[in-house]
Amino acid sequence: MYVPIIRKIINRNDALLERALPGDGDLIAKIGDKVAPFNQLGSCKVSYNQLVLPKGFNPFNTLNLSKILQGTTLGRFRGEYIHAPYNGFLEKDFVINQWVYKETGREFTLLSGAWGTVRNIMDRRSVLLEIYCKDFLLPITCGETFPGELVVFPNPSDLLIGSFLENFTKDVSGKMFYIGGHIGLQVVMKAKELNLSTLLAGSISKEAFTYAKKEGLNIGVFEGFGEISTSKMIFDELKNISNRFVFFDVENHTLRVPMPSKLEITAVKKPIRPLKIGDTVQIFQSPYFGGMGLVDTIKESSILVKIPKNNKLVEVFVPNFFLVV
Q: Which residues bind another protein (CB under 8 A)?
A: 2-4, 6-7, 10, 135, 137, 139-140, 205-206, 209, 224-227, 252-254, 268, 270-273, 284-286, 289, 301, 317-320, 322
Q: Measured from the CB of residue 57, what is the shortest distance to another protein in angstroms?
A: 49
Nearer to another protein, 240 or 286 (CB): 286
Question: Phi and psi at residue 47, in whole multiples of 5°?
Answer: -95, 115
Q: Measured from the CB of residue 325, what is the shortest distance to another protein in angstroms?
A: 9
Residue 34, CB-side half-sphere exposure with 13 Å CA sphere: 3
Q: Measured from the CB of residue 13, what is the shortest distance to another protein in angstroms?
A: 14
Nearer to another protein, 40 or 297 (CB): 297
Rounded distance between C-alpha atoms, residue 242 and residue 177, angstroms: 9
Q: Measured from the CB of residue 282, what is the shortest distance to another protein in angstroms?
A: 10
Rounded distance between C-alpha atoms, residue 190 and residue 176, angstroms: 15
Q: Measured from the CB of residue 67, what is the shortest distance to another protein in angstroms?
A: 50
Nearer to another protein, 57 or 225 (CB): 225
Q: Measured from the CB of residue 200, what is the shortest distance to another protein in angstroms?
A: 16
Beta carbons within 10 angstroms of residue 12's beta carbon? 16
Nearer to another protein, 33 or 227 (CB): 227
Nearer to another protein, 67 or 299 (CB): 299
Nearer to another protein, 54 or 319 (CB): 319
